[in-house]
């Protein structure tokens, strides 16, 4: 399919997502066939444990995986546009390392994992991620303008600092029992999914996509470089702030709920541009759909290979993503 | 690189050994194999011993001459007298401190001390003796092994005979009655549990129940999904008091409130550092499990 048919690619991505959702609904400890799935979706009976599992556990898990993939892919796309650097990924702003630090503090300093009735790990991860993001943005901006190079370097520096602090705390505080918990949090997982937590990532993703579709042309102009974008009348500074805010909101929620899932935000934007061109009009939507599908596929594979909990999804994204990414790089170069 | 790392440690070990090790006759040694099948040369009468696992420190206190126990690790807390011993860090292993203490033998458990650390200690002349257990009987056998190695077989046998008698004296499950399925949490978030291939399986069997985890996973403490836990539908859950888990574990995983354990409020805490330790207190652990099952 040539790049001039973005609609077909988008349709293919949506169909792939639906196929993966269908397959994903079948995988789990309870044996469920499609007749049972259809029956459950039509007449849900929460007193049947298998139906409860299907509706309350499997479906939210798949939706969270999709939302996480879509949000991270979109964030990666936006950041690569913002800093005009193809190496940027959603964690460039320090969100992942800050969130990991927050989670480590929660796990190692609060063994009960609650404070005044609040469940700490996701809150601490969100707080850590946002703090790191604020710090990186402060480093990367001068007099209200976001500068790509300092932002990039600030992200690397804050990421390294948060990782070092996390390692220091782990070294001083962890024993063999809780070390495993900290390490596994850092691999990422969708096991905490529930209908109650899906609202935030869904609302942020839908809001971001709606806003960005209006700004698609501006984003393409930004890719031409700051000077040319300004010469063409684009409010570059304002646009960059908006993109930063969207990336922080998209990534922060995902990391707080799922842990830092790597590689999807780097691979999928590249694949999107490879298939649809650098400035295609369906790029943003396709990138989100493809990112969601990619994480759905990774989660499905992880659970099929290593039931019941599955391999850490972050490992699968890297194992699948890296060879694919390298072959893509070789083709495009 | 490896040689350059070993040399300073080796020299340190030699220097540390000199003041107290001035044998007048060649020391008698014995050749033994540990539970991992590793061949070791031990002094015939070890006078300086330590354990890198808290359960083995408890065993040493129960079997050895306590004056021969030269150190404790940061996790040792039982018996209280152990806190008066010098500290050596077991995680991460403080190799230099351990070498400076020049023990005759170091006892540890499979999975606690990395094999490469044991190999390095072996190169420095410190034999590391591993034990491993799958059943409660293995723990009793391990106590007797340590007794023999330390020249105190009678003390060890007295202890294990007593432990065996206590085990034999435990009330037997009613023949034909179903054994309750028990899930023991090792971590509540993410959910890690005591797997089929842990000592817990035998402990809970002796207590009259059965490990709710029937599948055998490669890891002793596998991660589980909520779906898997719901399918198991354990009758008893161990890992914390009902009230505490209700406001944490079950609050975060409300679906698991459907399990029989939650419905019947058979959710219990166990004494800290008892169930996890394959020590002479293992019968105490089995007795506690039995008491919980009878609640």
A333: confidence class by pLDDT, cuts 50, 70, 90: low
For residue B240, list chain A residues with Cβ-Cβ distance below 8 A: none
Cα–chain center distance at B27: 31
Average pLDDT, chain B: 89
As a whole number of angstroms, the distance between CA B57 and CA B20 comes to 24
Residue count of chain B, please give it: 295
Q: Identify the CA nearest to B70 among candidates B57, B54, B53.
A: B57
Among A104-108, A195-199, B141-145, the range of highest mean pLDDT? B141-145
Mean pLDDT of A1-24: 86
Contact B189 A180 (CB under 8 A): no
Mean pLDDT of B121-145: 95
Query: Given this model, what pLDDT does residue A85 score?
Result: 80
Q: Identify the CA nearest to B129 among candidates B100, B102, B104.
A: B104
Residue B33: beta bridge partners? B39
B12: confidence class by pLDDT, cuts 50, 70, 90: very low
Q: CATH homologous superfamily of domain B30-168?
A: Nitrogenase molybdenum iron protein domain (3.40.50.1980)
Report the SS3 class of residue B172: coil
Whether the predicted pLDDT of A145 surpasses 90: no
Q: Is A56 on the interface with B (CB under 8 A)?
A: yes
Q: Are B213 and B181 in contact (CB under 8 A)?
A: no
Q: Would you state the torsion angle of the CA atoms of residues A281, A282, A285, A291, taken in this order, to the nearest 10 degrees?
A: -120
Query: Given this model, what pLDDT does residue B25 score?
Result: 59
Interface predicted TM-score of the whole assembly (ipTM), two decimals: 0.76
Average pLDDT, chain A: 87
More confident residue, A1 or B28: B28
A307: confidence class by pLDDT, cuts 50, 70, 90: confident
CA distances from A54 to A45, A49, B38, B143, B208 (A): 11, 9, 49, 49, 34
The pair of three-digit structure tokens given for residue A24, joined into one six-digit string: 């994903």
Query: Given this model, what pLDDT does residue B53 score?
Result: 95
The pair of three-digit structure tokens given for residue B223, joined into one six-digit string: 């991660």
Give the domain ranges of chain B: 30-168, 181-293
Contacts of residue B61, defined as CB under 8 A and 6 or more positions apart, other chains included, come to: B69, B79, B81, B82
Mean pLDDT of A284-308: 93
Q: Identify the CA nearest to B236 among candidates B179, B189, B284, B192.
A: B179
Q: Are B190 and A181 in contact (CB under 8 A)?
A: yes
Whether the predicted pLDDT of B3 surpasses 50: no
Whether the predicted pLDDT of B13 surpasses 60: no
Query: Given this model, what pLDDT does residue B44 score?
Result: 92
Residue count of chain A, please give it: 333
Nearest-neighbour CA in chain B from A185: distance (Å): 8
For residue B112, list chain A residues with Cβ-Cβ distance below 8 A: 176
Q: Are A247 and A79 in contact (CB under 8 A)?
A: yes
Mean pLDDT of B93-115: 92
Least CB-CB distance to B231: which of A30, A117, A178? Answer: A30
Instruction: Give the burial class of B85: count Cβ atoms within 10 A of its Cβ; 0-12 exposed, 13-18 middle, 19 or more buried.
Output: middle
Contact B227 A58 (CB under 8 A): yes
Residues A221-266 have pLDDT tens digits of: 888 877 888 888 888 888 888 988 888 889 888 888 898 898 899 9
The mean-pLDDT minimum among A323-332, B124-133, B235-244 falls in A323-332
Q: How many CA atoms lie within 13 A of B226 on its CB side?
A: 29
Nearest-neighbour CA in chain A from B290: distance (Å): 25
Report the SS3 class of residue B73: coil
The pair of three-digit structure tokens given for residue A205, joined into one six-digit string: 């993703």
Q: Are A195 and A60 in contact (CB under 8 A)?
A: yes
Q: Do domains B30-168 and B181-293 have the same CATH topology?
A: yes
Whether the predicted pLDDT of B285 surpasses 70: yes
A107: confidence class by pLDDT, cuts 50, 70, 90: confident
Percent of chain A past pLDDT 70, that is, above it, reads 97
Buried b (16+ CB within 10 A) or exposed e, B126-155: bbbbbbebeebebbbebbbbbbebbbbeeb
Contact A29 B228 (CB under 8 A): yes
Q: Identify the CA nearest to A267 among candidates A198, A205, A181, A327.
A: A327
How does DSSP assign A110-179, residue by residue? Answer: -TT-EETTEEHHHHHHHHHHHHHHHHHHHHTEETTEE-HHHHHHHHHHHHHHHHHHHHHHHHHH--HHHH
The pair of three-digit structure tokens given for residue A116, joined into one six-digit string: 């005044």
Whole-model pTM above 0.90? no
Architecture (CATH level 2) of domain B181-293:
3-Layer(aba) Sandwich (3.40)
Residues B159-211 have pLDDT tens digits of: 999 999 999 998 887 788 889 999 999 988 888 899 999 999 999 999 999 99
Query: Given this model, what pLDDT does residue B26 score?
Result: 53
Minimal-distance CA residue of chain B relative to A59: B227
Whether the predicted pLDDT of B20 surpasses 60: no
Whether the predicted pLDDT of B14 surpasses 80: no
For residue B223, list chain A residues with Cβ-Cβ distance below 8 A: 184, 309
Contact A117 B247 (CB under 8 A): yes
Q: Is A46 on the interface with B (CB under 8 A)?
A: no
The pair of three-digit structure tokens given for residue B242, joined into one six-digit string: 């009902």
Contact A309 B222 (CB under 8 A): yes
Least CB-CB distance to B248: which of A53, A114, A171? Answer: A114
Whether the predicted pLDDT of B11 surpasses 50: no
């Amino acid at each position: 399919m040539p790049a001039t048919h973005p609609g077909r690619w988008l349709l293919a991505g949506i169909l792939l997502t639906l196929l993966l959702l269908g397959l994903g609904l079948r995988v789990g400890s309870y044996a469920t066939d499609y007749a049972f799935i259809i029956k459950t979706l039509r007449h849900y009976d929460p007193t049947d444990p298998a139906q409860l599992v299907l509706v309350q556990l499997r479906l939210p898990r798949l939706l969270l995986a999709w939302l996480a993939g879509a949000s991270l892919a979109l964030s990666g796309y936006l950041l690569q546009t913002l800093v005009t650097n193809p190496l940027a990924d959603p964690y460039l702003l320090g969100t992942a390392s800050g969130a990991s630090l927050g989670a480590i503090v929660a796990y190692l300093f609060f063994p009960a994992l609650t404070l005044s009735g609040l469940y700490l790990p996701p809150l601490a991860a969100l707080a850590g991620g946002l703090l790191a993001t604020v710090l990186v943005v402060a480093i990367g901006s001068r007099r209200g303008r976001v500068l790509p190079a300092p932002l990039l370097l600030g992200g690397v520096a804050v990421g390294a600092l948060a990782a070092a602090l996390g390692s220091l705390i782990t070294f001083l505080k962890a024993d063999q029992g809780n070390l495993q918990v900290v390490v596994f949090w850092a691999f990422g997982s969708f096991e905490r999914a529930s209908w109650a937590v899906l609202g935030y990532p869904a609302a942020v993703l839908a809001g971001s996509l709606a806003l960005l579709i209006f700004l698609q042309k501006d984003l393409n102009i930004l890719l031409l470089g700051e000077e040319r974008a300004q010469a063409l009348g684009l409010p570059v500074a304002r646009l960059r702030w908006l993109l930063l805010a969207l990336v922080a909101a998209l990534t922060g929620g995902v990391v707080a709920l799922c842990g830092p899932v790597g590689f999807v935000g780097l691979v999928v934007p590249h694949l999107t541009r490879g298939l649809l061109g650098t400035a295609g009009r369906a790029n943003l939507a396709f990138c989100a759909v493809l990112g969601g599908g990619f994480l759905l596929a990774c989660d499905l594979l992880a659970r099929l290979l290593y039931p019941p909990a599955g391999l850490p999804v972050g490992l699968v994204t890297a194992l699948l993503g890296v060879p694919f990414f390298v072959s893509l790089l070789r083709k495009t170069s | 690189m490896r040689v350059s790392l070993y040399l300073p440690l080796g020299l340190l070990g030699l220097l540390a050994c000199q003041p107290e090790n001035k044998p007048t006759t060649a020391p008698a040694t014995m050749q033994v194999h540990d539970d991992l099948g590793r061949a070791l040369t031990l002094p015939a009468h070890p006078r300086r011993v330590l354990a890198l696992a808290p359960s083995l420190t408890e065993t040493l206190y129960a079997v050895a001459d306590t004056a021969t126990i030269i150190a404790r690790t940061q996790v040792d807390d039982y018996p209280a007298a152990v806190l008066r011993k010098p500290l050596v860090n077991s995680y991460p292993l403080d190799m230099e401190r351990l070498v400076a203490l020049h023990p005759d033998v170091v006892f540890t458990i499979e999975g606690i001390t990395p094999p490469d650390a044991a190999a390095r200690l072996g190169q420095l002349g410190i034999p590391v003796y591993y034990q491993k257990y799958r059943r409660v009987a293995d723990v009793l056998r391990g106590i007797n092994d340590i007794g023999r190695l330390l020249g105190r077989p009678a003390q060890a046998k007295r202890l294990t005979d007593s432990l065996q008698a206590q085990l034999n004296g435990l009330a037997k499950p009613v023949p034909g009655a179903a054994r309750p399925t028990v899930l023991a949490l090792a971590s509540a978030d993410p959910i890690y549990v005591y797997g089929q291939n842990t000592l817990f399986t035998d402990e809970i069997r002796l207590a009259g129940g059965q490990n709710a985890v029937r599948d055998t996973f490669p890891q002793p403490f596998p991660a589980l999904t909520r779906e898997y836990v719901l399918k198991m539908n354990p009758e008893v859950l161990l890992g914390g008091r009902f009230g505490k888990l209700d406001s944490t574990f079950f609050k975060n995983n409300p679906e698991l409130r459907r399990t029989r354990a939650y419905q019947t409020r058979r959710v219990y805490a166990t004494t800290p550092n008892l169930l996890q330790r394959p020590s002479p207190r293992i019968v105490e652990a089995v007795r506690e499990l039995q008491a919980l099952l009878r609640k």
